[in-house]
Chains A and B, each alone.
Chain A
Amino acid sequence: MPKLKWQLQPQADETRVVFSGDLIEGPNLDELVTQIHSNVVFDLAEVGRVSSSGVRQWIQMMNALTAAGHHIAFDRCSPAIVSQFNMVAQFRGAAEIRSILAPYYCQDCNKEHPRQIVPGPNAATELEEKLPCPSCGTNMEFDELVESFLGFRSHDARA
C-alpha cells in the first residue's frame, strides 16, 4: 500500500476526510491540520499498516486539532486503526468513535470481509453472530477475540 493520502469532502456541518494508504513515517499531517477549519470526521476504512513513527505524527495532529477546538469523529475504522486504539491511549485522543470495521473470515473463500459495527453496548453480542459471506454465502465468524478487539472501550469506562 502507498503512504497515507487523504481527500477532503466538505459537508453541511463538518468536513469528512477520507484516508487511504499506510500510516507510516513521512505523511505531512501538519498540512492536513491547516486544511481543517471545522468539526471533522475521519473515514479510516482504507488505512492499512500503521507504524510507530506514523503513530507519533498522528498524535501530534490530534493534539493540534483538539487545541484548535475542533470536534473529531472517527468513522469506519479499519482493523489496523482499532488495533492502535488498543495499544496507544493518545491515538484516539478525545475523538468520538462512530463505527469500526470488524474482520470476518470465510473459510471457503479464504478471504477476510470487514463488517461495520457501532462500538456501543451491543457490540460484543453483534460480534458473536455469524454472517453470510458476501461471495459464497457460507457462515463467517468474527476473526478476533471480542474482549481484545473491543478493549479500547474498557479504557473509556476507566477514564
Chain B
Amino acid sequence: MSQPSPPEPRPPSRFAPGTPARFLVVDRQETVGAAMAAVLRRIVPCEVELRARLTAPDVHRDVDLLIVSYDELSLVERSLLTVYVRREKRGQLVIRSNGACRMDFPLLLEQHVLTNYVTEVSQRRVHEFGVTIQKLLGSEQSGVEPYFPVVRDRLSRQVASSVEIQAVLEEARAFVESKEVREWLAPRFVDVVDELLTNALYNAPVDPAGKPLWSTRARNVPITLPEQARVDVQLVSDGRRLGVSVTDPYGSLTREALLGHLAKRFRQGGNTLAARTEDGRGLGLITCLRSLTHLIVNLDRGRRTEMIGIVDSGISIKQHRQAGTWFNTFQSEREP
C-alpha cells in the first residue's frame, strides 16, 4: 500500500537581505564539506554547520536547507531523510551523489526525498548551484535566464500548433550548429527541444475541469492550442553552455506525477542503474535526463509549467556522462 505523499516543501522565507539562511551540510569528508560551506557563503548570507554524520536530532532542527552527500550515508542515516521531508518544520533537501545511489532512486523519488539532486559542484557549475540554492530559499526566479548571466545568442519562439514543431527543430539545429559545439551535441540537443515541445503541446493542455485534451493522441495527429494559448520556447547560449526552456500556459504537471514517472523509469532500469522504459512511455523525460547536464522543472500549478535544460557544449560524451545530470524541481507557493 502506498504511503501518503509528504507535504510539499515550503520555501523558507530566509532569502531576504540581512536574514542569514541556516544550512546543515553532512559530508564524511571534512574538506569536501568545508568547500561546500565556502560555496554556500558566497551565494547567500548564511550560517553553515558541518557534520560528518546525520543524526536523529539533526533532522528535527530548524534549518532552511540540508545538503547531504548521500553515497556515504548509512542505511539509518538514509532513512532519516524521509523523516526530514515529512517533519512539520519544512526545510529543503539537496542530495549530492556521484550516481552510486541510483539503486535507491525509485524509492527516494516516490517518497519525495529526491526532488533536488546534484553531482560534484565543480567551478564550471558554481553559478548554476547558486541559482539552485537561491530558488530553494524562496527566490522566485523563472526562465532560463537566471542560469545564464551572460547570453551571447538567443532564439525565442511562440508555438501554437504541432505543425510548427519541425520548423522550430530545424531552427534549433541551426542554432546549435552555429556554435562551437562537439559533434554529438547537436542531435541530442534537438532531441531535448523536440521532447519538451511535443510534451508541452500534447500532454500539458487541459480543459477547464483539468482533464487532458490530447495526451493520448498520436503525435502525428496535428493539434492546435485553443484560443490565445502559446507554448514559449527559448534557446540561449553563453559560448560554453546551451540552454532551453519550454513553458506551457497550463501548469497541469504536478510534482507527484513527475516524481512518480521518474521513479517508474528508474525501477525499469534494472541492473543497468539507469532510467529505462519497457514500452517507450515516459521516454521523453529519460531522453532529457541523458542528454542534459541539468534539468530544472518549475511547477506553478494551474498557471504554467516550465522545463529548463542546460548542457555543457564543449565536452565529450564521456565527460558528459561522468559529470552526471543535475535535477531540480521547484514548486511555486502561489495558490492554484
Q: Is residue B34 within 8 Å, beta carbon to beta carbon, of the partner chain?
A: no
User: Which stretch from B88-96, B103-111, B133-141, B265-273 is at the chain A interface?
Assistant: B265-273
Indicate if B317 sits at the interface (CB-CB under 8 A).
yes
Asked if B318 CB lies within 8 Å of chain A CBs, one says: yes
Tell me which residues across on chain B come within 8 A of A26, comparing CB atoms: 220
Q: Once the chains bind, are B198 and A59 in contact (CB under 8 Å)?
A: no
Asked if A83 is at the interface (CB within 8 A of a chain B CB), the reply is yes
Q: Mark B267-288, 1 if CB is under 8 A from A, else 0.
A: 0101110111111100110110
Cα-based distance from A55 to B218 in the complex (angstroms): 12
- A112 partner residues in chain B, CB cutoff 8 A: 182-184
| Partner among A48, A49, A52, A141 whose Cβ is within 8 Å of the Cβ of B283 | A52
Cα distance A55–B287 in the bound complex, in angstroms: 12
* B286 (CB) vs chain A CBs: closest residue: A87
Query: What per-residue 1/0 map shows which CB atoms of A141-159 lie under 8 Å from chain B?
Result: 1111100100110110010
Residues A89 and B318 in contact in the complex (CB < 8 Å), given A48-B187, A55-B283, A80-B187: no
Report Cα–Cα, A51/B287, bound state, in Å.
9
Q: State A60–B195 Cα separation when bound (angstroms).
A: 20
* Chain B stretch 105-162: residues in CB contact (< 8 A) with chain A: none
Cα of A138 to Cα of B279 in the assembled complex, Å = 41
B contact residues around A81 at 8 Å (CB): none
Interface pair B277/A88, CB less than 8 Å apart: yes
Q: Which of A53, A79, A90, A148 contacts B278 (CB 8 A)?
A: A90
> Which A residues are in CB contact (< 8 Å) with B321?
144-145, 148
Report B325 CB to chain A, min CB distance, Å.
12
A contact residues, total (Cβ < 8 Å): 38
Q: Does A103 contact B (CB under 8 A)?
A: yes
One of A56, A103, A154 near B271 (C-beta < 8 A): A154
| A144:B317 contact, CB within 8 angstroms | yes
B284 and A52 within 8 A (CB) = yes
Q: Does A42 contact B (CB under 8 A)?
A: no
* Dominant SS among interface residues on chain B: helix
Q: Does B71 contact A (CB under 8 A)?
A: no
The answer to whether B283 touches A105, judged by C-beta atoms less than 8 angstroms apart, is no
- Any A CB within 8 A of the CB of B78: no
A148–B280 touching, CB < 8 Å: no
Which of chain A's residues have a CB closer than 8 A to the CB of B275? 87
Any A CB within 8 A of the CB of B290 = yes
Q: Contacts A87-B276, A143-B184 given: A51-B270 contact, CB under 8 Å?
A: no
CA distance A56 to B317 in the complex (A): 26
The answer on a CB contact under 8 Å between A143 and B277 is no
Q: Which residues of A does B touch, CB under 8 Å?
A: 1, 24-26, 48-53, 55-56, 59, 79-80, 83, 86-91, 103, 105, 110-112, 141-145, 148, 151-152, 154-155, 158
B residues with a Cβ closer than 8 A to A are 182-184, 187, 190-191, 194-195, 198, 218-220, 268, 270-272, 274-280, 283-284, 286-287, 290, 316-318, 321-322
Chosen A-B contacts, 27 in total, with CB atoms closer than 8 Å, are: A24-B194, A25-B219, A48-B187, A49-B190, A51-B198, A52-B280, A53-B198, A55-B280, A56-B280, A86-B276, A87-B275, A87-B276, A87-B287, A88-B277, A88-B279, A88-B280, A91-B280, A103-B184, A105-B182, A105-B316, A111-B183, A145-B322, A152-B272, A154-B270, A154-B271, A155-B270, A158-B270
Across the A-B interface, give the 10 residue pairs with the lowest CB-CB distance, nearest first.
A53-B219, A151-B272, A52-B283, A55-B280, A49-B187, A25-B219, A112-B183, A145-B321, A52-B284, A89-B278
Known pairs A51-B191, A52-B287, A151-B272. 17 more at Cβ < 8 A? A26-B220, A51-B195, A56-B219, A79-B184, A87-B287, A88-B279, A88-B280, A90-B278, A105-B182, A105-B316, A110-B182, A141-B318, A143-B184, A145-B318, A145-B321, A154-B270, A154-B271
